[in-house]
Structure 1
């Protein structure tokens, strides 16, 4: 929890208490600040949903306690009946995380045993929910920039991963290299899932939020780039696996075996150039999707396109070299397919920026 979030929760709870105390008087209305704390979520949409569920759960519990225990009195079996009905009604109303609020509210009213206590509990809940909603309306952030920052970081990390692969090809790879490649690729996939969650948070933060009309929500380019890079991390993981398989075969065969040409010097050099050029294109692709202006987007998209053209030229030369080693065409084909899929997916035209063709 950030310091700003903690400060907002404290202010919201105190204001809810003061408002309830002013309107009701009597014993300290602690249910109002409690409700405000429980319903204030990160986004306005989540807060509204939580408020509705909490109000429904408290009101339902109070009504059940008054209707059942009022005429029948408080006994062990009425307690069990109220709890059972409360859970059933909460499930029918799909109250989610607030389902236990129904029996809890009912039991509190059973303990107090007065209709005024029941009414007071509902009123305090409404006050706390109202203050929480107003607080969120005034302070809830639009989290589009957070999603854009997460996308750019993922692109930088993927670019660094491809750069590291190229660096390792300076010498003949070994088992230490293959272990590091696959570990880095796995961490990249995990980060991509986190970045996808950030886009979901950005969507939620714009729902019903007045600031979204001024700032705007996630752009189509951001959504496309997020989906592209998430898929590209899977392809990069397949590339790392393929390079590991080639290394295992090379180390197994030694001199004179079928795998001796697998990591020949010219093959390593051309693959390294392909990866190194791609490592520069990936961050620029993300920068194109999150550009502050159309002009900046066109400039970044053009640079990305030119790097992809260069990378594809290196890939074509790599393909010609691998054709000289037909004994391992399945692994050669797999390597080239992974590279092609990454190259094809990063087209700036998919983001709405048409590069100039030379």
Structure 2
């Protein structure tokens, strides 16, 4: 008889696949394109109305917010291209020089109607329509198919909520923090002993690569920010967006500061050549300090990506304790470096730079500093939203005040 645990493993894999945003998005896109094609077969005069599934495939984006914005822009781009093609077919027809004018006119119209990244779609639609014989029928058939695809795509996202990419963005942020930690540990090891210039330069290049890789994390975060907009599956979407964004901003600052520390250690290695970068006691304390700051960096990332309040509280307590230990070690390092500078003032600029930059990282991850930064960002985003929708917010506020007044009146009448 087969062990029940052997059945559990395939079920767990199937559950993970069902929750995987990539799998969910693939199935949603395929379903929307197929449904749009079936509907277009009954409504469009074309034998193979492939414009409808193509539009549905493009409209069903990763997020509901992108679907709404892309659907409207794509429909506008296709309709604009069709209208330009109809005008050219009536005036000049299709020649080599009219094709060039058609492309110029289509791209200009695309910028005028503000379809953003779909500007080339205006010219593509115009060329496809102008290149057929029965321009009028094909033009309106293409418009109809585009509308069918857009409506089906929007409907699929409304009925089948798109995946939320917050967890994936959180994993990217945590991965960045772990890589920061590994680099700090390696830099601490080289500070405690003799360090060749090429090894110090390797750490500097690694810090620069890490700085460049932030762009990938930022792209994942932008995708997560869009996935929580207008998504019925997400509560407190604004808070999720602001927490992750401010957290990534802090880690980006820490990455830049770490790159400066790596540069300082490289310059110090050039000055010391075969000698240790620091005295043995100073090097040991600096290594311990970088290790403590490295652990605090990972705890900070866990705090930023924590969704459950209990996890957030424990992560904040752990981060506070680690930063407190790092601050104590920093003070000890400051005293040792002061004694070192008094004995040998030749490299006091580089010693002071290392201490100042490490202190900058500690201050950036401080819980009070983060809370203040988070509140400022929430106020800024809220103010931007109020500026965008002042009338709607005014109506909602008036409705809430009227509702509270009626409720108070009903209570007094009892």
> Does the TM-score normalized on the shorter chain lie above 0.5?
yes
Corresponding residue of 1:299: 314
Match of 1:57 among 77, 84, 90: 77
Residue 289 (structure 1) aligned with residue 304 (structure 2): yes
Contact 1:16–1:127 (Cα < 8 Å) also in 2: yes
Match of 1:257 in 2: none
Q: Which runs of 5 or more structure 1 residues have no equivalent in the other structure?
A: 255-259, 354-358
- Alpha carbons of 1:136 and 1:166: their partners in 2 closer, same or farther (altered >3 Å)? same
Matches within 5 A, 1:9-24: 9-24=29-44
**Alignment TM-score, normalising by the size of structure 2:** 0.76
**Change in CA separation of 1:79 and 1:316 when aligned onto 2, cut-off 3 Å:** closer
Distance 1:162 1:103, change over 3 A: closer
The Cα offsets for residues 112-136 of structure 1, whole Å up to 9 and x where unpaired, read as: 3342222111101100111122233
Q: Distance in 1 between matches of 2:307 and 2:93?
A: 67
Q: Structure 2: any 5+ residue segments left out of the alignment?
A: 1-20, 373-414
Assess if the C-alpha contact under 8 Å between 2:363 and 2:369 holds in 1. Answer: no
| Cα offset, 1:193, TM superposition | 2.8
2:55 alignment partner in structure 1:
35
State the match for 1:107 in structure 2.
Answer: 127
Per-residue CA shift, 1:194-217, capped at 9, x if unaligned?
Answer: 222222221111222222247775
Q: What does residue 338 of structure 2 align with? A: 323
1:163-199 CA distance string (max 9 Å, x none): 2222334432222420231122122212333222222
Say if 1:349 and 1:107 are closer, same or farther in 2 by CA, change over 3 A: same
Q: CA deviation at 1:76?
A: 5.3
CA-based RMSD: 2.5
Q: Deviations over 1:218-270 (max 9, x none)?
A: 25433322211110000011111111111111117x6xxxxx7x421111111
Alignment match, 2:287: 272
Q: What residue in structure 1 maps to residue 145 of structure 2?
A: 124
Once the two structures are overlaid, the 10-residue window that deviates more, 20-29 or 266-275, is 20-29
Greater CA deviation, 124-133 or 83-92? 83-92
Q: Detail structure 1 runs of 4+ shifted over 4 Å in the superposition.
A: 1-4, 71-81, 214-217
1:197 counterpart (206, 211, 219): 219
1:347/1:217 Cα in 2 relative to 1: closer, same or farther (>3 Å)?
A: closer
**What SS does structure 2 have at the residue aligned with 1:99?**
helix
2:103 & 2:237 partners in 1: Cα distance? Answer: 46
Q: Which residue of 1 aligns with 2:190?
A: 168
Cα distance change on mapping 1:297 and 1:7 into 2, 3 Å: closer
Distance 1:216 1:164, change over 3 A: same
Tell me the distance in 2 between the aligned counterparts of 1:288 and 1:277. 16
Cα gap change, 1:248/1:77 in structure 2, threshold over 3 Å: closer, same or farther? closer
The match for 1:142 is 164
8 A contact 2:211–2:256 mirrored in 1: yes
Give the direction of change, closer, same or farther, for the CA distance of 1:339–1:94 in structure 2 (3 Å limit).
Answer: same
SS of the residue 1:305 aligns to: helix
TM-score by length of 1: 0.87
Q: Describe how 1:50-89 pairs up with structure 2 within 5 A.
A: 50-70=70-90, 78-89=98-109
The alignment covers a number of residue pairs equal to 346
- Check 1:99–1:317 CA distance in 2 against 1; reply closer, same or farther (3 A cut): same
Counterpart Cα distance in 2 of 1:285 and 1:84: 52
